[in-house]
Amino acid sequence: MAGIYQEVNTNFACGNNRVALANYYSDVVGYLHTHANNLAVMISLYFNVNAGQSPANWTSLWTYVLVQRGDGLIRQSVLNFGFSNSLTTMSHFHPVDLSHASRLINHGPTVLITTSHGNRRNVMAAAWSMPVEFTPPRIAVVIDKSTFTRELAAASGTFGLIVPGAGMIDLAYAVGTTSGRDIDKFEHFGIDTIAGPVLGLPLIETNCAAWMECRLISEPHTEDAYDTCFAEVVSAAADPRIFSNGHWTVDDSNTPLHTIHHLGAGKFVRASAMQIAQPIAR
Ligand SMILES: Cc1cc2nc3c(=O)[nH]c(=O)nc-3n(C[C@H](O)[C@H](O)[C@H](O)COP(=O)(O)O)c2cc1C
């Protein structure tokens, strides 16, 4: 059962101020939630075709608003006037505070790198990534110069980093052993995406533990000599079943989301036996 709230003709310059828009809906839904006996609140979003936004921008905008809410108050419901691509895949991820972003790859999982430039998009596997700074959150990934991913990342100055779960092993291996130069791997392998809230990058959530959107930091020497690309993380989110409040919880209830670690030749191990270090009595 959902509460219904009707709002008529509120005009936002939302293309420019998505933070204000997210805050506004946060306030409205928070208020309704308090006064509606904890009923879920559903919003229907109207998009004015004449307002000059592209469908991608619109999708990215509302994904941002919904991801920012993060507490399940706003579920979905998009009245899509004028475009056929509605937000069919709603994010169930929760935002990760950027000061905790490094923890998403601290333990060295195999990740997926997604890219988009013009009308091309792509995804590949990468075993070699690591955090290099907490604040601002910065990471490094080895992306070989022969890959299509490197070409798109260099052209757009951005990439997405996905932390796939064990339920993604076959797909992770498949996108790491094919090139996107001639195929759209998302389409070819049937991989659903959402649009990143800040950079609009294609991000994957099904059977994945987390994602980040990253802006490349230009370092021509390390890129040329070592294929090592540095980037700043500008948004991050995780599946709360395995990562919340800045911490991983790995147990038998979330096996498909356990991160994967490549041993070579298509063999992976799951990170599944969590142990907590205890103080040593002396
Ligand atoms: C498990 C796995 C890990 C990989 N790790 C990396 C890596 O860290 N860096 C890299 O450049 N390529 C890595 N690769 C290879 C790329 O994913 C592969 O070259 C891919 O086909 C490139 O796709 P693209 O041309 O569509 O960008 C990995 C492949 C696999 C299967």
Task: Identify the residue whose C-alpha is closest to ligand 1 atom 30.
Answer: 176
Mean pLDDT of 230-244: 98
pLDDT at 140: 98
- Indicate which atom in ligand 1 lies nearest the CA of residue 151: 27
Pocket lining for ligand 1, CB < 6 angstroms: 110, 122, 124-128, 142-144, 147-149, 173, 176-180, 262
Identify the DSSP state of 236: E
Q: Which residues, at least 6 apart from 152, have a Cβ–Cβ distance to it below 8 Å?
A: 115, 116, 117, 120, 121, 122, 159
246: left (phi over 0), alpha (psi -120 to 50) or beta: left
pLDDT at 73: 43
- Indicate which atom in ligand 1 lies nearest the CA of residue 147: 25
- Indicate which atom in ligand 1 lies nearest the CA of residue 141: 8
Task: Identify the residue whose C-alpha is closest to ligand 1 atom 7.
Answer: 126
SS (HEC) of 141-165? EECCCCCHHHHHHHHHCEEEEEEEE
Separation of CA 146 and ligand 1 centre (Å): 10
The more confident residue out of 91 and 29 is 91
The rounded distance, in Å, linking the Cα atoms of 10 and 19 is 16
Q: Which residues, at least 6 apart from 98, have a Cβ–Cβ distance to it below 8 Å?
A: 135, 136, 137, 233, 234, 235, 236
Separation of CA 180 and ligand 1 centre (Å): 11
Separation of CA 73 and ligand 1 centre (Å): 38
31: left (phi over 0), alpha (psi -120 to 50) or beta: alpha
Separation of CA 167 and ligand 1 centre (Å): 19
Task: Identify the residue whose C-alpha is closest to ligand 1 atom 5.
Answer: 126
Ligand 1: residue of 111, 124, 185, 188 to mutate (most ligand atoms within 8 A of CB) is 124
Separation of CA 175 and ligand 1 centre (Å): 8
Question: Mind listing the pLDDT tens digit for each residue in 103-142?
Answer: 999 999 999 999 999 999 999 999 999 999 999 999 999 9
Residue type, 103: R
Say which range, 23-32, 70-79, 148-157, 180-189, has the weakest mean pLDDT.
70-79
- Indicate which atom in ligand 1 lies nearest the CA of residue 152: 27
Residue whose tokens read 């920012």: 68
Separation of CA 126 and ligand 1 centre (Å): 5
The more confident residue out of 152 and 90 is 152
Separation of CA 136 and ligand 1 centre (Å): 27
pLDDT at 27: 73
pLDDT at 24: 73
Say which range, 80-84, 155-159, 255-259, has the weakest mean pLDDT.
80-84
Q: Which of 111, 98, 96 is nearest to 138 (CA)?
A: 98
Classified as helix, coil or strand, 22 is helix
Question: Mind listing the pLDDT tens digit for each residue in 168-187?
Answer: 999 999 999 999 999 999 99
Task: Identify the residue whose C-alpha is closest to ligand 1 atom 31.
Answer: 176
- Indicate which atom in ligand 1 lies nearest the CA of residue 176: 17
Q: Is the pLDDT of residue 76 over 50?
A: no
Ligand 1: residue of 145, 147, 168 to mutate (most ligand atoms within 8 A of CB) is 147
